[in-house]
Amino acid sequence: MTVQEIISALGLEQATGDADRLVRVITGGYASDLLSCVMAGAADGNVWVTLQAHPNVIAVADLLNLACVIITEGTRLDEETLGRAREKGIPVLLTEETTFTVVSKLAELGIRGEH
C-alpha cells in the first residue's frame, strides 16, 4: 500500500508531498501525540497519525524517515510547518476524522502496528 493509495482510500486532503514521495510503500503505522513516544516507537516508512501540527512534527517525521503524517480532527497547518514539510519533502495529509477512526480505517486496509 502506497501513500497515494491511502490518500485515495481515506479521502485525505494532501497539504504537502511531491509525486515521488507519494509512491512510497508504507511499512506500518504508529499513532501518538507524544513526540518522544513516536521517536521510540515509529519505524522507517511508517504512517504516523497525530493531532499535533507544528514544525517539530516534521522534524520527527524527517529524522525517522517516515512515509507520511496524517493530522486528524481538522487541525490546520501554520505557514512554518507547511514550509518545513515542503523543504523536507514529507507528505502531510489532513482529515476531519479522529485519530481512532483513521487508525481503524488504516487497519482495515491491512496496515499493521508491528513492523
Partner 1 sequence: MERVSGLSGVKELTRVQELVYELRIGQVMTKDVITVSPDQTIAELKEVLRVNRISGCPVMEGEQLVGMISLENLIRALENGELDTTIREKMTSSVQSVRADESVVSVVTLFGRLGFGRFPVMDHDGNLVGIITQGDVVRGLLKQMEVQWHTEEIRRYRASHIFEDIESDQTALILRYAVKAQDFIHGGEASSKIKRALERLGAHPRIIRRIAVATYEAETNVMIHSHGGEIIAEVRPERMRVTAIDTGPGIEDIEQALKPGFSTAPDWIRELGFGAGMGLSNIKSCADDMNLESSLGTGTRLEMIFQLKA
Binding site residues, partner 1, CB under 8 A: 19-20, 22-25, 33-37, 39-40, 44, 50, 52, 54-60, 62-65, 80, 88
CB of residue 65 to partner 1, shortest distance in Å: 8
Q: Select 39 or 109, whichever has its Cβ closest to partner 1.
A: 39
Q: Which is nearer to partner 1, 83 or 113 (CB)?
A: 83
Min dist. Cβ of residue 63 to partner 1 (A): 4
Helix residue ranges, H only, 25-92: 35-41, 55-63, 79-88
* Min separation Cβ 112 and partner 1, Å: 16
Q: How far apart are CA 113 and CA 31, in angstroms?
A: 9
> Would you state the cell numbers that stand for residue 88, as one nine-digit string?
523536507
> Residue 70 has what DSSP assignment?
E
Closest by CA position to 89, among listed 31, 3, 10: 3
In the complex, minimum distance from the CB of residue 72 to partner 1, in angstroms, rounded to a whole number = 13
- Taking the least distance from each CB to partner 1, the nearer of 60 and 106 is 60
Note whether 26 and 6 are within 8 A (CB): yes
